[in-house]
């Protein structure tokens, strides 16, 4: 009887450990997925820069840094940091303005 209980407890612990490992793996791959989406965002932005003829030297430096060296330059990091912050600020303004309109209507 005691062996059955010990076996049950051991199996229960193993299942919990396995669930924890799977949750950690899930978080890890979600982070990888978001990183891949950000890289895709950068690629699309570079393509859009080509179409809009935005600062050719800047675009070429970014392109060279990313494709030839496979690294993010400080300039590139700062540029996309500012760009993402501007987008988030715009989204927050739009969300807050819609809340203000709702309050005025009530």
pLDDT in tens, 19-50: 999 999 999 999 999 989 988 988 888 888 88
Q: Which two tokens stand for residue 90?
A: 């715009």
Render pLDDT for 47-82 as a digit per residue (tens, 0 to 9). 888 888 777 888 888 888 888 878 888 888 898 899
Q: How far apart are the C-alpha atoms of 12 and 17, rounded to whole Å?
A: 9
Assess contact for 99 and 87: CB atoms under 8 A: no
Q: How far apart are the C-alpha atoms of 50 and 70, rounded to whole Å?
A: 20
What sections of 1-106 are H helices per DSSP? 2-52, 56-63, 74-105
Give the up-direction half-sphere exposure of residue 61: CA atoms within 13 A in the CB hemisphere.
Answer: 12
């Amino acid at each position: 009887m005691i062996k059955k209980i010990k076996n049950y407890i051991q199996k229960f612990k193993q299942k919990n450990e396995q669930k924890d490992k799977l949750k950690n793996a899930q978080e890890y791959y979600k982070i990888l997925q978001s990183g891949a989406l950000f890289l895709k965002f950068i690629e699309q932005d570079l393509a859009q820069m080509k179409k809009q003829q935005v600062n050719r030297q800047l675009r070429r430096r970014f392109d060279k840094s990313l494709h030839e060296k496979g690294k993010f330059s400080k300039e590139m990091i700062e540029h996309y940091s500012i760009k993402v912050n501007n987008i988030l600020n715009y989204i927050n303004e739009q969300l807050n303005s819609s809340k203000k309109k709702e309050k005025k209507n009530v």
